[in-house]
Amino acid sequence: MKSVSESLAGRMAVLELTPLLSSELSAKVARERHWLCGGFPDGGVQTPRKFPDWANHYVRLLAERDLPNLGLPCAPQITMRLIRMLAALNGQQWNASDVGRSMGMSYQTMNSYTNFLEGTFLIRRLGVFHGNLRKRLVKSAKLLWRDSGILHSLLGIENQSSLLIHPAIGASWEAYVVEQALGLLNALGARYNATHFRTSDGYEADLVLECAHERWVVEIKLTSDPGARVFDRLDVCADLVKATRRVLVSRVPQDSVNDTRLSCGLDRFLKEIFELARRA
C-alpha cells in the first residue's frame, strides 16, 4: 500500500480472495464448466461464451501493465514467454535452473521473476514435506496453476472436448482439486500446512495436508475406476509420513469410506475439508 503514509500493523488483516470456488457456485453451474473455464466471474464460468478470450486478455494485460507496475523488470514479450512455459510445466517439479537455461537467464533471475507470478496468484509452488523418512526425498517444490481457466487458455484448450484429449488433462485435474481444497480452507480461516513429497524411488503424494492436529495424504487421479495398485501405493506413502488419514480423490461414481481411508469424488472431498476446517 504505497499511498499509505503510516504503518497499519495491528490495525489491518490480510484476506486472500480467490476466484469463485466450486463450493461457492450454485448447482446450476456444472463442475465440468468450472474446471474448464476457471473461477473468474467474467472468465466463462457464468458466461461461457467469454472463454477463453477473457482469460487471454487478462494474462496479456498482466504482462503488459500490472506486473511492470509491481516492479517486474522484464519486457512483456519475455513475460508472456515465461508464462506460457510455466503453463506447460503445470504439475511438475519446479527447477529454476532448467527453466532459466531455456530462457537464457540465471536460476536466481528465474526465481525472482516467478516470485512475481506467484504474488499475482497465477501459480502456486507447493512446498516439500519435511519429516524423518526412511527414503530419500526429491526436494523440489511442485508448480501448480491456481486458476484452471487461465491455464487452459494458455494451453490452447477452448472447450470440454479438447480438454478431454489434451495430454495435460491429468495435471490440470490435480491442480484444480488442490486449489479447490486449499481455497476452501483459506475461505474458512483454517490454519493448515500443505506440502507434497516424492521419493527417489518413485513414491509420491500429490498433497500432504496438516490441519486440526491431523495429517492427510491425498492422491488425485482422473480415473473413474482406480485399481488396487493405486491404493497400495497410497498406503505406502501414508505409512511413510505417519498420516492419520489417506484419501484418494478421483471421479468414482460411489464413495468408499472407513476410519482411516476415503475414496471419493471432489464433492465429498470438499465436504470432508469443510469438516476438517471446523475442527481447526
pLDDT digits (tens, 9 = 90+) for 35-82: 999 999 999 998 899 999 999 999 999 999 999 998 999 999 999 999
CATH 3.40.1350.10 is held by the domain 168-280: yes
Residue 20, C-alpha cell as written in the block:
469463485
pLDDT of residue 115: 94
- Which has the closest alpha carbon to 206: 192, 195, 190? 195
Q: Which DSSP helix (H) or strand (E) runs through 237?
A: helix 228-241
Close Cβ partners of 7 (under 8 Å, ≥ 6 residues apart): none
Helix (H/G/I), strand (E/B), else coil: 185: helix
pLDDT of residue 25: 87
pLDDT in tens, 70-103: 899 999 999 999 999 999 999 999 999 999 999 9
Residue 193, C-alpha cell as written in the block:
500446512
**Can you list the positions of beta strands (E) in the chain?**
123-128, 142-145, 192-198, 204-211, 214-220, 245-249, 256-257, 261-264
pLDDT of residue 138: 83
DSSP assigned state of 144 = E
In the chain, where the domains are located: 29-128+146-166, 168-280
DSSP assigned state of 133 = -
The ranges of the chain with pLDDT < 50 are none
DSSP 12-45: ------PSPPGGGS-TTS-HHHHHHH-S-GGGTT
- Which has the closest alpha carbon to 1: 66, 72, 70, 64? 70
